[in-house]
Amino acid sequence: MTISRRNVMRTGLGIGAGILSSSALGKGICPIAAQESTGDGGVSAEGKQLRLLTFTGPGTHPAFTQQILSDWAQAHGATLDTVTVPFGQLPNKIMTTIVAQDSSIDMFYVDSGAFPLVAGGLEPLDPFIERDNPDLSQIGEQLIGLYTKDDQRFSIPHESDTPFLLYRSDLFDSTAEQEAFRAAANRDLAPPTTFDELREVAEFFTRTAGETLNGTPLEDDFYGCALAGRSYISTSRQWEMFLFGYGGEILDEDLHPVFNNQAGLDATSFYTDMAVRWHVTQPSITADGLPEVNVWMNTGRAAMAVCYPSGNPNNPAPGVQFDAVPWYSATEKAWGIAISRFSQNKDIVWEMIKHLSEAETQLRFGEMGAEPTRSDVLSNPELVSKRPLLKALVEVHKRSRPQIQIPEISYIWDLVSQPIGDVIANGMPVQDALDKTVNQVDDLLKNAGYYA
C-alpha cells in the first residue's frame, strides 16, 4: 500500500529514519503517557530551576530568546540554566534527551524543520491554550501548523525564519546606480521579482576591484548575489525557492522524490549558472553556507542574497543598509520553544511560551534584532522604521508553503543540497547530480517504510 503525503502529514508515520530507529523510538517513548500538568494556571515559579536545551550559532537569535526567558525567570523568582550544543547537533541532542526520558530538561528550542522528528517527546499545548485562551490571532495558522501533529499543537512559534530576498537598499536607492541601470536596461532599478530580473540585476552589480560602486572605487571584487552552495540544509532551503519558482516539488503526493524532472533541472541549472556561467556570485560558493552568505552581505561585498531572515546582518559595515522583499514562495519556517513531556515544570514553561507570543515581548524581540511572528508587530511603524526588512515577512508568510510533516524531512533537506556542489565544484552534469540525489532520497524513504 502506498502512503500518500496527506496521510503522512496527518498520522506522522515513518518516525525515526536516519538517526534513531523507529524501534528505539517505539520502545523508549510511544507507550509512555504524557505527564499531566496541574491545570490551575497558578503554579508559582519561585525558587524553581528551569533548563533549556538550545544551540550556539549561527546567528544571534538563540541569545535573544534566552535573554527574554532569563528575564522572565528572574522576574518570577526562578533561574534559567541552558544546555547548549552546536546548531547541527541540536536535533540529535533533543532526541537523545527524549529517549533517555531526561526530566532535567524542561524545554527545547525547536526548529520547525526538526519538529516532526522530535514531536513524540513534546507536551501538547492544547490544554493550556484552551484554559488560558492567549491571543494567537496575529500568528498565522500556517506558522502554528509547523508545530501541529494529529491536530495537537506543540509550540507557538515566536521567531519567523522563512527565506526572502535581502538587498542593499543603499545601492538600490543610489542616484548614480539608478541612472546607470536605467541606461543599461532601459527600466528602473528595483529588487527583482523574476529569475530573468535576478540575473539582470546581479550582472549589473557584479564588478571587479578598481571599478566604481556608488561613486567609490572598489578595493575588492563585488558580487551581484551571494548564494550558499555548501552541502547543508540552509543551501537546500534557498535552492528550494528556485525549485518552487520553476513549478517543481521535492516530493510528489506519494512521497517519491521528483526534483530531477524538468522543473528541477531548470531551477538547479539557473542556481549553478549564477556561479559557473554568469559569475555573479561569490567564488567561494561551494564552501559557503548561510553564515558565510551573511558575512558577504554584512561586509558590503554583495548586492543581494536569498537567505533566512535570522541570518540577516545585524552589524553591517558603515554605509551598508538593508531591506527585503518577498520572492518566490518558500517552505514556511520558524523557531519555537516546546515543553519536554518529561519536565516537572510544564505549567511554568507554558507561561514562558505564552510570554514569548505576547505583543509587547514580540516587539522587544524585534528591537533586539530578531524576527517576530506576530503580524501586528511585523507591521509596527516604529519597529519597521528601524528595521525595514521586517515588513516583507508579512507577505512572505502569506506566500509560504506548508512543510512536509514527516520526520525525515530535515535529512532530505540535507541531501538535496548536494547537487549544487557536484555541479559547481565537481563539474557533474546537472541531470546526473539530481538523479544521484533523487536515488539517495528514494533509498532513505524506502528504508523508512514509506513505499510498498
The strand pairing partners of 325, in sequence order, are: 165
Q: pLDDT per residue over 169-205, tens digit each?
A: 999 999 999 999 999 999 999 999 999 999 999 999 9
Q: Which residues form the domain of 16?
A: 5-162+333-399
Residues 376 and 306 in one domain: no
* Residue 33: per-residue pLDDT: 36
Residues 305 and 158 in one domain: no
Angle at the Cα of 223 from the Cα atoms of 299 and 278, rounded to 5 degrees:
160
% of the chain at pLDDT higher than 90? 83
Pull the grid cell for residue 213. Answer: 560602486
The strand pairing partners of 159, in sequence order, are: 335
State the residue for C-alpha cell 526534483: 259
DSSP 391: G
Pairing verdict, β 159-160 and 148-149? unpaired
- Is residue 132, in this structure, part of any structural domain at all? yes
Amino acid at 136: L
Closest CA to 156 of 198, 175, 114, 128: 128
Residue 39 has pLDDT above 50, yes or no: no
Residues 76 and 199 in one domain: no
Domains identified in the chain, total number? 2
Distance separating alpha carbons of residues 91 and 96, to the nearest angstrom: 9
Long-range contacts of 170-174 (CB under 8 A, 24+ apart): 170/214, 170/319, 170/320, 170/321, 171/205, 171/213, 171/214, 171/303, 172/323, 174/214, 174/215
Residues 309 and 421 in one domain: yes
Output the average pLDDT for the chain: 89
The strand pairing partners of 255, in sequence order, are: none
**Whether 259 contacts 440, CB under 8 Å:** no
DSSP 51: E
Residues 337 and 306 in one domain: no
Distance separating alpha carbons of residues 86 and 172, to the nearest angstrom: 36
Distance separating alpha carbons of residues 396 and 101, to the nearest angstrom: 38
Average pLDDT value for residue range 218-227? 97
Pull the grid cell for residue 80. Answer: 534559567
Q: What percent of the residues of the chain are helix, what percent strand, and what percent coil, each to the nearest 5?
A: 45, 15, 40
DSSP 3: P
- Is residue 177, in this structure, part of any structural domain at all? yes
Residues 211 and 95 in one domain: no
Residue 104 has pLDDT above 80, yes or no: yes
Residues 168 and 141 in one domain: no
Q: pLDDT per residue over 235-282, tens digit each?
A: 999 999 999 999 999 999 999 999 999 999 999 999 999 999 999 999
